Structure 1
Amino acid sequence: MKDMIPQFFLSMKHYTREQFIKDVVSGIIVAIIALPLSIALALASGVTPEQGLYTAIVAGFVISFLGGSKVQIAGPTAAFASIVAGIVLKNGLDGLAAATIMAGIFLVIMGIFRLGSLIRFIPYTITTGFTTGIAVTIFIGQIKDFLGLSFEKAPIETMEKLEQVILCMGTFNPMALAVGMIALIVLIIWPKYFKWVPPSLIAVILTAALVKIFHLPVHTIGDLYVISPSLPAFHIPSLSFAMMQKVLPDAVTIALLAAIESLLSCVVADGMVGSRHNSNMELIAQGVGNTCSALFGGIPATGAIARTAANVKNGGRTPVAGMVHAVLLVLILVFLMPYAALIPMPAIAAILFMVAYHMSEWREFVSIVKTSPKSDWLVLLVTFVLTVVFDLVMAICVGLVFASLLFMKRMADVAEVNGWKYLEDGEEVCDGDSVDLKPVPRHVAVFEINGPMFFGAADKISKVILEEGKRVLILRMRSVPAMDATALKSLRKLYHNLSRKNVILVLSHVNEQPMSVMEKAGFLDDVGRENIAGCIDEALIRASAL
């Protein structure tokens, strides 16, 4: 556990006054960016505005303090919005808290057992597919507020929301669209000329002023929610066995998504600052941060790539910046939160439209479809469609199964069992393990296996067919990196068939993992250890003596 040390403590060893000033400045800027985003993402998640700030404060501070990255900024993110909204509608806030706490425990366990590196086994096509899918669900979910529609019922699923948009188009509010378009124009144009002030902050201030001054008939946050400026209070949710059983799939989804998003953000941050994060410590921090967030009224949190990038660009180089960002949000919550009631809902929708656009990775999506093998873009499209039409749990599960099946087929296709070509007696013999042709005694047959031998390719072992008069079969296995139980069963079956025909099996150049599998199964004793050769020349010498 010596390597399980938070980056905060490692950074303090060589901390300077100059870096502290940079971290404070960066933390202030990141807090200004996080303020409207936290409110918008809370509303998109079906909870109150202050709960978004609770998450940024509690999870943001804890994850920075305990995290494995120097510059990671954590808080509510768009990836969780549709998931959290569904949990709240189905199981209420206690159900959300239970799922978040369980997810936090799962994340801590993943970190303790050093499972951080396993995230790399989730294909890029799946992460791109569900990320683009989440972006589409966020976009569809905000059409209602952007157009000022009044729904007949409160839909949960994305397709139900789209159906309600079409059915309720008669309630369209042109003024809401105008306010939303103003916010959207500010969000698009402002960064091109004024990079030092977050465009989302300008958008909400401008549209709130317009709606208030001209008394525009547009819904604001205050019309729909009662905003509390109070500090987050400690609360233990109802954690009955029935509730935990009910939200278990949601907890697994939150844990998996938090792990993926946070570690992806860490990788991006590493590239920006030239450092290296501790993935297992980061998972533990994410777990503790999410648990604390739920206990103080927050929602699930993870590493936020955009806020992390802003931290780096503004000089933040230690976890102090993330902790400053959380402390400043506490002050904003206490003194400025009542003014959030003035923010128009179309402006929030516009902010989330931009969030959805930036997280959609549409360029990568199109690139994969255009340039990648059919198997890759099929996984991408399946994951994308299932994320939008059904939910993220099904999308990731089906995507992983589909990708695994296609990978196994690909590996099975490249695995080969081929017979050797033979030189006539008297021709020149080449050295050790050369790929050149070698003279082989007339009573010996040599077959070479290439590629991993697993259940998808095990049947190819049965394709070994001997000519009449052969008394020894050499299987050259130097290109077999791994073998599973199914392949061993096929190899054992081949051995028994050869034994009935009085043909001796000699194995050449067996690699470490296949050798271990054969050793444990007792297959080496069946074949005879004297018939295990280190290279093809040794195998040919052994076969000549038989």
Structure 2
Amino acid sequence: MFKDNRFLDYNMSGFRKDLIAGITVGIVAIPLGMAFAIASGVKPEYGLYTTIIAGFLVALLGGSRYQIAGPTGAFIPILLAIVLQYGYEDLLLAGFLAGIFLVIMSCLGVSNLIHFVPRSVTIGFTTGIAVIIFMGQLANFFGLSGLEDKEFFHENMIDLFRQFHTINLYSIVVALIGLVVIFVLPKIAPKIPVLLVALVIPTILSFFFFPGKIETIGTAFGGIPQTLPTFQFPHITLTKLVDLWQPALIIASLGAIESLLSAVVADGMKVGEKHDSKRELFGQGIANIITPLFGGIPATGAIARTATNIRSGAVSPLSGVVQSVFVLSFLLIFAPYASYIPLAAMAPILMFVAWNMSARKAFTHILSVRSGDSIVLVTTFLLTIFINLTIAVQVGILLAALSFLKKMSGKLVLKEAELSDVEIVTFGKDGTDSLTKFIVDGPLFFGTAKVFEDVYPSLLPAGTKKVILDLKHLSVMDATGEAILYTLLEDAEKAGIQVIIKRLPKDKLSLFKKSGLYERIGEKNFFM
């Protein structure tokens, strides 16, 4: 089905590089996998299962040489909403359906359509997700108790302020230590995996100096099983399919956007590399079909881990396989020790991830332009935070489309032009007073119909016998444009006016023939 050239000329030297890169990415992926799972409202081991299975399958079946897949921050709001509304079991079904949608997208070539999602929409919901993740970690950062995850952002914020009196100073100390490690360690030892160290140091300190004073993975989730996940097919009913198809489609769309964006970033980091977008979506689809069968949550290409993979010297997809094996080894050997990890140590890691994914510079730039894109950006941003990602993306794309149509409506220009000597001789033998010429410049479609209608009366002035339409600069025409021309022809016929088409582009000629306009106007009235 797909030709794989990613292992051409592979040798032992390449394997050593992939081994080092895979272990390095695995060290980064362990804390992130657990943190993303917890933030999504599920147990931390489910994030590790996702890292292992999805990372392995995407490495082998995907379309990028360096892609690392797993749970990501972008999925957190939508996954948490599904868990709160339907439960963990239905989250698995939604992920399963999303995998099917991704495979269908691959077969239909939808990967090319992803590029038509406006930047103002992607920046809007990405920044909105970052705000949700960041603010969602305040409870763990301050060690607040008595909180319950709620569906809407404002409800969670109100609950957080109500419970602020339950603040735990030990949690703040642990979180601040992790934050200091995250910002200081890269400056003094840039090659050390900062996120893992930011998890290990606070865990050791809390275990020895104030045990039992703060909530840990063990007290909150009962620890992490030291076993492989078991196979379980999701229970599918018609009611569940009706309820979950839309969230699943959002997961698939978001996963497609993020995985292809990650692959593009990887291409940019390695000169001469180019990913296969159809194969990438296929690999992501298979991974998301298989992963839920073993308890894993939805996954996609992770930009930060993919970049780490490349910087660590990876040369083939085998580095992604090594990453999965390394995380699996951690699960089987060190899982019991993960029970001592404080939730307060997870908070600065997720805050750091949210800060990096917030696209602050792009957000500020689009906002400063104060155009239609700014309105789309702010609307998508606010809807992502206060309603949900599904509504935000739909409304954002709709507003972007309306903004585009508004811009395009000003691109059509119809103007009366001077007649040349050739035109007077060729068309105006019975006198130039009965001959008019109009130039149509721009797109003629439903978005510019109003512009055409406003100029319409001047196209068929009284006393005119012939009208020349110069269509050399006609860029686009749709069914509405055809209907406008048909109406013009009918009114011209009633008034006894001959319509002549001049310099119609060749690609539009075939459209005229298919629509019947060519026959309706008459071959003799076309001057190419």
TM-score, normalising length: structure 1: 0.92
Q: Please name the residue that 2:451 is paired with.
A: 460
Paired residues of 1:445 and 1:474 also in contact (CA < 8 A): yes
CA distance in 2, matches of 1:402, 1:188: 39
- From the superposition, tell whether residues 417 and 336 of structure 1 become closer, same or farther in structure 2 (CA, over 3 Å): same
Whole-angstrom CA distance in 2 between matches of 1:41 and 1:25:
24
Kept in 1, the 8 Å contact 2:424–2:432? The answer is no
Determine the structure 1 residue equivalent to 2:312: 314
* Preserved CA contact (<8 Å) 1:40 1:352: yes
Counterpart of 1:379 in structure 2 is 376
1:529 is aligned to 523
1:271 aligns with 2:262: no
1:491 aligns with 2:488: no
Runs (5+) with no aligned partner, structure 2: 426-430
| CA deviation string 1:401-426 (max 9, x = no partner) | 00000101100111111111346x69
Aligned to 2:57: 62
Structure 1 runs not aligned, ≥5 long: 430-439, 535-546
State whether residues 129 and 384 of structure 1, in contact with CA within 8 Å, keep that contact through their aligned partners in structure 2: yes
- Counterparts of 1:512 and 1:297, CA distance in 2: 57
Asked if the contact 1:108–1:288 (Cα under 8 Å) also holds between the matched residues in 2, the reply is yes
- Deviation digits for residues 208-254 of structure 1, max 9, x if unmatched? 11111012511111110122111121110111111111111110110
Rounded to whole Å, the distance in 2 between the matches of 1:11 and 1:23 is 13
Q: Which amino acid aligns with 1:45?
A: S
CA distance in structure 1 between the partners assigned to 2:215 and 2:78 by the alignment: 25
The alpha-carbon deviation at position 427 of structure 1 amounts to 12
Matches within 5 A, 1:333-344: 333-344=331-342
Letter of the 2:470 partner, please give it: R
Determine helix, strand or coil for the equivalent of 1:480.
strand
Structure 1 residue 278: Cα displacement: 0.5
Contact 1:140 1:158 in 2 (8 A): no
Report SS of the residue matched to 2:501: strand
- Could you tell me how far 1:13 is from its partner in structure 2? 2.4
**Equivalent residue, structure 2, for 1:125:** 120
Query: Aligned partners of 1:426, 1:42: CA distance in 2, in Å?
Result: 75
Which of residues 392, 407, 412 in structure 2 aligns to 1:410? Answer: 407
Q: CA RMSD in A?
A: 1.7
| Structure 1 contact 474–507 (Cα < 8 Å) conserved | yes
Matched, 1:236 2:230: no
Which piece of structure 1 moves more, 384-393 or 147-156?
Answer: 147-156
CA contact (8 A) 2:84 2:150 kept: no
CA apart distance, 1:96: 0.6
Contact 2:77 2:389 in 1 (8 A): no
Partner of 1:327: 325
* 1:199 partnered with 2:194: yes
Q: Residue 478 of structure 1 aligns with which residue?
A: 472
**How far did 1:469 drift?**
3.4
Secondary structure class of the residue paired with 1:100: helix
Partner Cα separation in structure 2 for residue 156 and residue 182 of structure 1:
31
Q: CA deviation at 1:496?
A: 1.1
CA contact (8 A) 2:64 2:280 kept: yes
2:497 is matched with: 503
2: distance between equivalents of 1:428 and 1:495? 22
The residue aligned with 2:428 is none
Asked if 1:52 is matched to 2:47, the reply is yes
Cα distance, 1:185 vs structure 2: 1.1
Do the aligned residues in 1 keep the contact of 2:225 with 2:336 (CA within 8 Å)?
A: yes
CA positional deviation for 1:192:
1.4
* 1:239-279 deviation line (CA, Å, top 9, x unaligned): 11111111111101100000000000011100001211000
Count matched residues.
517
Q: What is the Cα deviation at residue 197 of structure 1?
A: 1.5
State the AA in 2 paired with 1:134: I
Partner Cα separation in structure 2 for residue 38 and residue 520 of structure 1: 55
TM-score by length of 2: 0.95
Same amino acid, percent of matched pairs:
39
Q: How far off its partner does 1:509 sit?
A: 2.2
